[in-house]
């Protein structure tokens, strides 16, 4: 299979992660969504639920991992690499918390949409996925740039309506949804 | 331009022939339409962070005028009362971790005293063995308890729910037996904890100075203080864990 065909497949999976992010936006959560894929099947779908659960750690990735762990068919025996052979598609780069969690459960690889400059754990702030040495957990590959613009636009749509926390909140009427997107600061793919 | 807030918008340079030239800072990410009578914009290097001391003001401002923003150093008064309070917190996590061990768990525990000292606060043990879930670390378990203890439903008018974040541990202190792993350190940062006290460093896996120091990284939007408890009493035998483990 050539690279373009493969990219098309990853983008098609990412479209399903974007549906979860849309759902988060409708629920007034930071719009991040993800799916976990094993042997060509979606085994879990989740979205950010930090507001609903009043817990700042309930990110989409951790929600999905818990769902997989709770399912005896998906997780018959707990080993150190529960998510070996499993691929994550997530609209935004996993934060350092989620990247560490994913490494601790032995995820195979991760595809994400846009970078996370504040908390990114797959290279933006810290390479928790691979450059950070861990004595036990093997590193995983994380590739950026799949449906990046769609992921960014979702975040912008959220912040334009929700961010009234600024010292001088602008009135909603004067806020404009920007549509031009700057290129990534770092090369699009990394391991 | 949230990432350029440490830079002054205008650079004034005096001209040989007298008077000043003002150079305006723009951002590539937020293009601005300029009046037609101005010269073409050009790309200029700028410092990545504010000046932390007066020497940095001079050095950084030669690149671009930079805001002076010294790090806030909090003055701590170590009263007997405060030390007693800390010792009680340490004793609580040690007791909880011992109980965890008796129950076949990894001997790690965390504790957040109550804000107003009126009730016992909340404590949680590591439960990765009994739940067969490798991420059931004491800090994650504790954060879940704290959120469950908040009964009030989120309201749109409530500042705490804005931006999709619940600042669970704002201005609160967490005690834990072992230095939290990267996942737990970042979870504490997401929860806006104020201080973290631990007893045993985890040099190979810890996120509070061991393997990395998560609240000290560039880019993160919250900082918390990290304290290591060194007491003459050694709990090590009872609370020893594999040094390669994520606490
Ligand atoms: Zn996360
Ligand atoms: Zn941990």
Query: Rounded to whole angstroms, what are the CA distances from A160 to A31, A93, A154, A169, A174?
Result: 12, 21, 10, 11, 10
Query: Cβ B220–A119 below 8 Å, yes or no?
Result: yes
User: Are the CB atoms for A154 and A123 separated by under 8 Å?
Assistant: no
The whole-number pLDDT of residue B1 equals 52
Picking from B159, B186, B246, the nearest residue to A104 by CB comes out as: B246
Mean pLDDT value of segment B106-132: 89
A150 is an active site residue: no
Question: Residue A178 CB: number of other CB atoms within 10 A?
Answer: 13
Contacts of residue B41, Cβ cutoff 8 Å, sequence gap at least 6: B26, B34
SS3 call for A109: strand
* Interval A90-114 mean pLDDT: 98
Report yes or no: A105 at the B interface, CB cutoff 8 Å. Answer: yes
Beta-carbon separation of B164 and A105 below 8 A: no
| pLDDT for residue B165 | 42
Query: Per residue in B127-183, pLDDT tens?
Result: 999 999 999 999 999 999 988 887 555 444 444 444 334 457 888 999 999 999 999
DSSP secondary structure, B131-145, as one string: HT-TT--HHHHHHHH
Pick the catalytic residue: A29, A61, A93, A150? A61
Longest dimension (CA), chain A: 55
Question: What average pLDDT does the segment A103-113 reach?
Answer: 97
Q: What is the CATH number of domain A3-160?
A: 3.40.140.10
Q: How far apart are CA A34 and CA B160, in angstroms?
A: 25
The model's pTM is: 0.80
With 80 as the cut, is the pLDDT of residue B5 above it?
Answer: yes
Helix (H), strand (E) at residue A112: strand A109-114
ipTM of the predicted structure? 0.90
Which two tokens mark B169?
Answer: 């541990």
What gap in Å lies between CA A101 and CA A104, rounded to an integer?
5
What is the nearest CA distance from A52 to chain B, expressed in angstroms?
8
DSSP B52-107: -SHHHHHHHHHHS-B-B-PPP-------HHHHHHHHHHHHHHHHHHHHHHHTTS-S
Place of tokens 């934060």: A95
Q: Give first-to-last CA distance, chain B, whole Å.
A: 38
Interchain proximity B163–A117, CB inside 8 Å: no
| pLDDT tens per residue across span A130-185 | 999 999 999 999 999 999 999 999 999 998 876 554 445 455 555 678 888 888 87
Q: Judge whether B182 and A132 are in contact, CB under 8 Å.
A: yes
* Residue found by looking up tokens 């063995």 in the block: B129
CA B98 → CA B10, B91, B110, distances in Å? Answer: 60, 11, 12
Q: Across the interface, do A30 and B217 touch by the CB < 8 Å criterion?
A: no
Closest-CA residue in chain B for A68? Answer: B133
Q: Which domains does chain B have, with CATH numbers?
A: 39-73 (no CATH), 80-151+166-238 (3.40.140.10)
The first and second tokens of residue A158, run together, are: 């959220």
pLDDT at res. A187: 58
How many whole angstroms from B182 Cα to the centroid of ligand 1? Answer: 12
B22 — pLDDT class (breaks 50, 70, 90): confident
User: Can you give the length of chain B in residues?
Assistant: 247
Spatial contact of A31 and A152, defined as CB atoms under 8 Å apart? no
């Amino acid at each position: 299979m050539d690279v373009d065909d493969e990219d098309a497949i990853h983008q098609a999976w990412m479209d399903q992660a974007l549906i979860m992010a849309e759902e988060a936006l409708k629920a007034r959560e930071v719009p991040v969504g993800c799916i976990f894929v094993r042997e060509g099947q979606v085994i879990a779908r989740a979205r950010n639920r930090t507001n609903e659960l009043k817990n700042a750690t309930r990110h989409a990735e951790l929600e999905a991992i818990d769902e997989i762990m709770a399912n005896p068919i998906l997780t018959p025996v707990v080993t150190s690499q529960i998510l070996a052979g499993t691929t994550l598609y997530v609209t935004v780069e996993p934060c350092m918390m989620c990247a560490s969690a994913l490494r601790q459960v032995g995820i195979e690889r991760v595809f994400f949409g846009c970078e996370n400059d504040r908390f990114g754990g797959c290279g933006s702030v810290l390479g928790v996925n691979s450059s950070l040495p861990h004595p036990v957990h093997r590193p995983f590959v994380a590739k950026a740039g799949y449906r990046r613009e769609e992921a960014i636009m979702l975040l912008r749509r959220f912040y334009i309506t929700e961010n009234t926390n600024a010292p001088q909140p602008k009135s909603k009427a004067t806020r404009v949804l920007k549509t031009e997107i700057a290129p990534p600061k770092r090369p699009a793919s990394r391991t | 331009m949230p990432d350029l807030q440490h830079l002054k918008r205008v650079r004034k340079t005096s001209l040989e022939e007298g008077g000043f030239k003002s150079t305006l800072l723009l951002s590539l990410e937020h293009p601005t339409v300029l009046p037609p009578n101005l010269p073409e914009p050009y790309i200029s290097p700028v410092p990545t962070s504010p000046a932390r001391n007066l020497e940095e003001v001079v050095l950084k401002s030669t690149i671009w005028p930079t805001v002076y923003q010294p790090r806030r150093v909090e003055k701590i008064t170590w009263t007997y009362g405060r030390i007693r309070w800390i010792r009680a917190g340490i004793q609580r996590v040690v007791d909880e971790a011992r109980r965890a061990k008796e129950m076949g768990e990894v001997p790690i525990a965390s504790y957040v005293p109550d804000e107003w000292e009126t009730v016992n606060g909340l404590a949680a043990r590591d439960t990765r063995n009994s739940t067969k879930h490798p991420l059931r670390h004491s800090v994650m378990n504790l954060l879940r308890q704290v959120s469950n203890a908040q009964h009030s439903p989120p309201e749109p008018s409530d500042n705490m729910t804005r931006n999709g974040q619940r600042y669970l541990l704002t201005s609160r202190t967490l005690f834990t037996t072992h230095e939290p792993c990267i996942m737990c350190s970042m979870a504490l940062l997401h929860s806006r904890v104020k201080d973290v006290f631990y007893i045993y460093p985890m040099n190979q896996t810890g996120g509070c100075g061991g393997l990395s120091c998560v609240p000290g990284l560039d880019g993160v939007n919250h900082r918390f203080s990290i304290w290591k408890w060194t007491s003459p009493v050694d709990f090590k035998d009872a609370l020893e864990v594999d040094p390669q483990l994520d606490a």
